[in-house]
Structures are given as structure tokens and as C-alpha cells.
Structure 1
Amino acid sequence: MARIKLPYSKKILEINIPDRNLRAILESKVHSYKAEDNQEEIINKALDNPIGSIHLEELVKGKKNMVIITSDHTRPVPSKVTMPILLKRIRNANPNIDIKILIATGFHRPTTRQEMIQKFGQQIVENEIILNHLSEDENSVIRVGTLPSGGELWLNKLAMETELLISEGFIEPHFFAGFSGGRKSILPGVASAKTVMANHCSEFIASQYARTGVIKNNPIHKDMLYAAKQAKLAFILNVVIDSEKKVINAFAGDCQLAHEEGCKFVMNLASVKAVKSDIIITTNGGYPLDQNIYQSVKGMTAAEATCKEGGIIIMVSACNDGHGGKSFYESMANTGSPKEILDKVMKVGRTETIPDQWEFQILARILNMHTVILVSDMCDPEMIKKMHMEHAFTVEEALEKAFLIKGKDAKITVIPDGVSVVVR
């Protein structure tokens, strides 16, 4: 009997899998990677050795104002560690510079004050100017140009009008952009809803290159990189974190070159070989990424890559914040079947994308091929069922349901953290 730990919300669940059923445990080496230096030393070393850029201190000299873009409450960027270092180095080089921190909410809801305190710490929240990007506020964005895809590029005015724009973030596998971090702080981070939807069109989401760990030929990445360069994103600090959300490496400098180096590092640690099974158990890595069903689709894609056709995906995710998107929920709940959703969405033109279309398109793709049992004791079971998934309060209950469908001898692959791996 194998005893396996699964992150769930802010705790760890332990499950037992019979040896006769367990085929493999797919884990990223990110979680076992041991850094030689502490977090602060890692970050300062990256800032001391920028990739493809002059030092941050040189960039801020002579500037009257700047904007630091940071991730929102749905991303585990360790801003309590990174932001104080950035602010100290900037002010040591230019004590009088006006600094604003802009939260890249993308198409998410605004980050609350309490979430800001949890993310940055009380001192930064009380002493710095922190603003939420509002993607649907047309008065807060300006037209910058046209994306390679043909969509209109509208970006946050504050980001576009500042003298210096930099960003912080983290790099992990991403289910359609290839990897998070880098250029994503601009698009979707501080882009208008109209721009986000053009970039996330059904045609691009359906591309074989819009997959986890893939940047080359990825049409979504191409748009994002263009947006970052149009925004004149001058410098990034991107970290890589382990399962405890601790920094194990950092990359600073040019928004493309530093990001690419970070992606190579993550790929070397995160790439795992698919082991096809009847039942796949996966998670979204616990809090903060498993707060809603919307985000949990990411962990499901890792399972999708190693699940036999007609197999069962057991998604262990708290989803205490509910579905995570009204349009996402309604598009799933008000349609007869996942196949019907897919047929409809592929007829939607590139400039006619509706809110959350990308998310329900990917979920429908998964549900069209597999049964998903979502394990949560913090989310309304009826909501889950209306979205064409099954519900279980515990992993054990989900396994019972899965064994009834696939038989007691069904083979199981476990992915303890679905958002941290690139399944090949």
C-alpha cells in the first residue's frame, strides 16, 4: 500500500493506493530541488547578474516615476520576499522616484486589501501605492496597436504612461501559454478584456502548440511577447518556487531572454514521462491555485495528458471560492454536453471570443474524453454537477466511484501537483 500526500487548500491530505493499482507517481523535480542559497541571496544574485539587460539600478537612475507590475491573489508569487528587495534596491539608486505597484489581475476580480496584506505584508500595503488593474474599465486602458493575431492591443494607462515599467512574477508550466511569467504580466496581466479575449480565441486554444511547456510556434505566446515589447517592459524578476512556495531560483533582466532562461530551468525539472492509466489523481498544488474550478482546469490538463481515453480524472481541489467565473460557469451549466460546447465554441470567430471561453473550451475538451470527479468539501456539489462533472467529498469516495466504473483492477497514476509538471 502506497501512502501519498496531496496538497489541498492550506493542508495536506494523505491517501492510500493499493500497490496492485498504482502504476506511477509523476512529480516535478522542482519540489525536491535543493538550492544552495537562501531566498534573499538567490533573488539578489539574479538582480546582480541580469540576463540581456543593464542592472535595475542603472534603469531607475534619472527616472521620476515607475510602475512595478505584480501578480494577483491567484498566483503564489512570494512578494513578501521579492518586493522588499526590489523596493530597497530601487530606492537606494533613486531615493526620490515615485513608485506605484500595479496588480496584474488579467481577467480576474480585483485583489482585496486583506489578500494584499497576505501577499505583500502589512508594511508594504500601508506604505506603498498599490492599484488593481481593471480589465473591463475602458477608461483605464489605451490602444497601443494590433496583435500579430489581428486583435486590438489595449493596455493599462498607468503602465503605458510611466517612465519605467518592470514586473515581478514566477515561472511554472502553463496549460496553454506554455509557461507562466515574463510577458504574461502584460498580456493578460494588464490588458483590456477585449485584448485578452482576442488572444485567448478558440482557434488558438485548439492549437497543438498551445499546450503545457510549449513556447515555440505557440500563437498565444507570440501575441503575449509582442504585447510586452509594445508596453516597453524594461526589466523582469521571475522566480521559481517549490511546493512550499519557497524560491529555489530566480531570473532577472530582459523580459524575453531572462524568461526563456527561466523556462529552460523549469522544463529540466518539471518534464515527466506520461504513464497511461485508467484513473488519474491530480491536484492544483493547494492554495492559492485551488481556490476555484476555473483555476483547477490547469491541474486537469496534466491528468489529461496521461489518462487513457475514456478514463477517469480525480481532481482534488478545494474550490472554496466557487466556480471562479460567471461566464465560465454558465457556459458549462447551460449547455447539454461537453461535445455541444466544443462544437459551438469552434464556430466563434477570433474577435468574437466571450469571457472565460478559453477555460470552458479546455474543460469541455477534457470532459469530452474523460469523466472528471472533483473532490472538495468546500464547494457546492450541485454547482460541480451542473458543470458536467461528478462530485466527491473525499478522495476515498472518488476512488470508490472510479473503481465501480473501471473495475477494481484499474490502474492509477498520481500527479501530486498537476500545475508543476509538464507531462510528455
Structure 2
Amino acid sequence: MTEVPLGEKSITVGLPSCEVTTAVPDGGESVDVESAAERAMRDPLGDPLAPQVDAEDSVAVVVTDVTRATPDDLLLDSLLAELEDGGVAREQVTVVVGLGLHRPLTGEELDEALGEHADLAVNHDPDRTRTVGTVEGCPIDIFEPVADADVICSTGMVEPHQYAGFSGGAKTAVIGAGGESQIRYSHGPEMLARDGVRLGRIDDNPFRGFIDDAGDAVGVDFCLNVTHGPAGITGVAAGDPRRVVESLAETARTALSVELTEEYDAVVAGIGAPKDANLYQASRAATYVVLGANDPLRTGGRVVLPARLPEGAGEGRGERRFHERLSTAESAESLYEELRTGYEPGTQRAFVLARALRDHEVWVTHSECPDLVEDCLMSAEAEVSDAIDPGSDVLVVPDALNTLLV
């Protein structure tokens, strides 16, 4: 019996007729976020924040949205205290929720995520951007309140990312508060096909390099990031975005790697809230398993995703494009070949999922919208046991989005 997350709770996976192996990384040790953030601000990787600001400066702090479990309220406590030490009053700060092409946060969600700082928050609008520079010939468009700020900071979660290797750093601002231009370029088929664009890798990763250079064009001055694992938040770092990502990626890699020596008929990939809110986000677990450093599946093996999906495919612009492409495709192979020629921002998740579906089936269990799952080239069942053949060799990865299979 193995526990895997489902929404805010968990379920027990019982497969008595199968040989079951569980992949649980070491996970590291949790830290107290508040005190760790204060220490990181006192000893940053690079220049401290307070000397970088003047009393009359306007400041934009770009924070993550509900798809990442970042303790933004606590990180804002530390950032705002440091800005105050530099003479910047609270009313001079705008907190921008970095949505990318995801849906806006509701007032209730802003209150829950940002606490007493919710009154400073505005949702990013990808249709209200200004070009601030170019990188690799791509215009870098940024949300106007960020472009207008004298100083730009960001929070972020440094966690395994399909393209960037690890998220965090300048990515929160460049993508979260960006326009379609850089999202189209960085998430397009040409970029995603480049050598080095892969889960868990930041060195010589063209996607990561583009994000960092775009962060310079935007003018991201300072970031305060965390990383996490099964134990909770396991590290906090502040300062230069590149150095912060390098430091926390090393912490995450050590805590989250699991070495495999066998192949399996099925992988049960746990997700849980907030990533199992919709199919766009939940499908990441399948591609992290199949397209990571070590695909653990035998030929014909399948990935099983327990996911509630209360938002269906998702409600943002990118999620709608993802659903439209999958639900109208004849097959994963035909969709993959079609998308190789180009697509709109947001559709990259359909492209990467189609790539995985060419070799392996994906089954979704426990969802509130099984018909939608079936319309999107995947299979739906009520229980995990219904999606796995008796006698299978099964790998259970309880936290698939935060486990590096190597």
C-alpha cells in the first residue's frame, strides 16, 4: 500500500496482484521559511537590495500564481522590510501576480496567497505590455506596471521544470509578467527541440539561457526564491537571479533525485494540489516521467495520473489552446507532426504531451471530467487499479513533479 496525493488529500494505491516499487527521494530537511528568508536577505548572492533603491523609487515585485506552492506572503514580508530599510514606502510597491497565459487570480485567491499584502496586488495582463528590448531577435514584452517600475524584484519556486531545467530566477518576471512574444519564442518547437533543453538541467540549457538574458533586458534586479521537496521548503536564497537558481537547483537536485535500474509496465505519478486543478498542469507529471533523464517505462508501458481536475482542462488562454489542439487531433503522432511546424503560446504543453503519447499511453483516474480526458487522447478510469493490468511491474512516484528519475 502506497499513499499518493489527490487534491489536498491523499489516496491509498493498492495493487495486490502487481509488483510495486516506490520512488521517494531523500527530500532534504525543511527550513523555517520566515527565518531562512531573513538570513538570505542579510547574506544575498550578490548585492543587497536596500542599497539598490532610492527613496523615491517605484518598485514592482512579481510573484508566482496558484500553480506553484510558493510562500509568497512570507517572502513579501522580507522583501518589503528590506525595501523599507532602503527608504521605499509600502505604497510605492506594486505586487504583480505572474500569470503568463494562465487565468487571473480571484480576490479570495489573492488573499490566501498574499495575506496582508493582497491590497498591493494586480493580476498580470498579457495584452498590456511594452517592448523593453530584444534577445536572440525576439522582442521582450513586459506588463506595463513592471516596465514602468524603477526597480524590479521577483519571488519564485526553484523546482524541476520541463524546459528551463529548474524554474525560478528571472522566469517569474520574464514569462509570468511577459507578453506572447517571448512565450511564443521560448516555448516554440525550435527552442524545445534544441540540445540541452531538458528537465533538471540548467548548464548549457538554451531555454534557461534565453530566460536569464531576457531577465537582463527586463531589468530584474533582485529575486528571493525557495525550493521544496517532500519535507517542505528546503532552501531559500536571495540576490542575483542566476546565482539564486544555481544555488537552489543544486539543493533541489540533491534532495529530489532517485536512481533507477529497472524498467516498468506502469508508473503511477502523484500530483496533488495545486497542480492537479486542471489537465494542462496535471499532464506535466506524465511528461516529467517519460521525457526526463531516464524514462522508466518498458515499450508499451503507461503512465497513470490520479488527478481531480476541478477546472477541467484549465481556464486560461494557454489552457484553452491546449485543450483545443488535443481534443481535435486524430492521434498523438499526427498532432506532434502538425505542431512541429509552429503553434501559439500555451500550445507547447500539447506539443510535449503529444511527444510523450507517441510512445506511452496516459491514463487519468479519479477526475471530475473523464469525458474531457477521453477527448484529449488519454484514457480515464475511476481508480488506479482499474488503469493497470494485473501482474504488472509498477513504479509509484508519489510526488512526480518533484522527483528526478535518473
- Please say if residues 306 and 367 of structure 2, whose CA atoms lie closer than 8 Å, have aligned partners that are also in contact: no
| Residues 306-317 of structure 1 aligned to structure 2 (within 5 Å) | 306-317=296-307
Structure 1 residue 19: Cα displacement? 8.0
- Alignment equivalent of 2:138, drawn from 151, 155, 179: 151
- Confirm or deny that 1:291 pairs with 2:277: yes
Partner of 2:22: 25
Q: Which letter maps to 1:10?
A: E
2:218 counterpart of 1:231? yes
- Residue 338 (str. 1) matches residue 332 (str. 2): yes
Mapped partners of 2:209, 2:298: distance in 1: 31
- TM-score between both structures, scaled by the size of structure 1: 0.89
Question: What aligned pairs does 1:50-199 form with structure 2 within 5 A after superposition?
Answer: 50-51=44-45, 53-94=46-87, 96=89, 98-121=92-115, 123-125=116-118, 128-135=119-126, 137=127, 140-148=128-136, 150-199=137-186
Equivalence for 2:396: 414
Match for residue 374 of structure 1 among 364, 368, 372 = 364
Q: Please, what TM-score do these two structures have when normalized by structure 2?
A: 0.93
2:36 pairs with 1:42: yes
Shift of 1:134: 1.1
- CA distance in 2 between partners of 1:240 and 1:386 (Å): 35
| Deviation sequence 1:267-310 (CA, Å, 0-9, x none) | 111122234201110022x1111111111122112321222221
Q: Deviations over 1:207-255 (max 9, x none)?
A: 34221101223222121111101111111100112347x4321011001
Q: 1:336 to 1:92 in 2, by over 3 A?
A: same
Residue correspondences, number: 396
> Matches of 1:333 and 1:38 in 2, distance apart?
44
- Residue identity over aligned pairs, in percent, reads 22
Q: Is the 8 A contact 2:228 2:252 kept in 1?
A: no
Q: Distance in 1 between matches of 2:132 and 2:19?
A: 55
- Matching residue's letter, 2:386: E
Report what 1:201 is aligned to: 188
CA contact (8 A) 1:152 1:198 kept: no
Unpaired runs of at least 5, structure 1: none
Matched letter for residue 306 of structure 2? V
User: Is contact 1:174-1:298 (8 Å) kept?
Assistant: no
1:301 to 287, 310, 314: 287
Q: CA deviation at 1:85?
A: 2.5
Give a deviation string over 1:188-218, Cα, whole Å, max 9, x none.
1111012211111112223342211012232
Contact 2:174 2:218 in 1 (8 A): no
Residues in 2 aligned to 1:376 and 1:208: alpha-carbon distance in whole angstroms: 36
- The answer to whether structure 1 residue 383 and structure 2 residue 376 are counterparts is no
| Superposed displacement of residue 413, structure 1 | 0.7
Q: Which of the numbers 241, 256, 260 marks the counterpart of 1:255?
A: 241
SS in 2 for 1:17: coil
Answer yes or no: is the 8 Å Cα contact 1:63–1:163 preserved in 2.
Answer: no
Alpha-carbon distance in 2 for matches of 1:186, 1:231: 8
* Alignment partner, residue 11 of structure 2: 13
Range moving further from structure 2, 93-102 or 169-178:
93-102
Query: How far, CA to CA, are the matches of 2:323 and 2:9 in structure 1?
Result: 26
What is the DSSP-based 3-state SS (H/G/I as helix, E as strand, rest coil) of the residue aligned with 1:354? coil
Kindly indicate whether the alpha-carbon contact (under 8 Å) linking 2:140 and 2:218 is maintained by their aligned counterparts in 1.
Answer: no
Q: 1:308 is matched by which residue type in structure 2?
A: R
How much has 1:95 moved relative to structure 2? 5.1
Whether the aligned pair in 1 keeps the contact of 2:6 and 2:306 (CA below 8 Å) is: yes
Match of 2:264 in 1: 277
Distance 1:159 1:80 in 2: 19
C-alpha distance in 1 between matches for 2:47 and 2:56: 15
- CA distance in 2 between partners of 1:237 and 1:267 (Å): 19
Distance apart, 1:4 and its partner CA: 0.9
Secondary structure of 1:13's aligned partner: strand
Gap runs ≥5 in structure 2? none
Deviation for aligned residue 1:186: 2.2
Tell me how large the CA RMSD over aligned residues is. 1.7
Cα deviation 1:342-365 (Å, max 9, x = unaligned): 1111122xxxx3132210011111
Query: Does structure 2 conserve the Cα–Cα contact (< 8 Å) formed by 1:26 and 1:414?
Result: yes
Please say if residues 281 and 303 of structure 1, whose CA atoms lie closer than 8 Å, have aligned partners that are also in contact: no
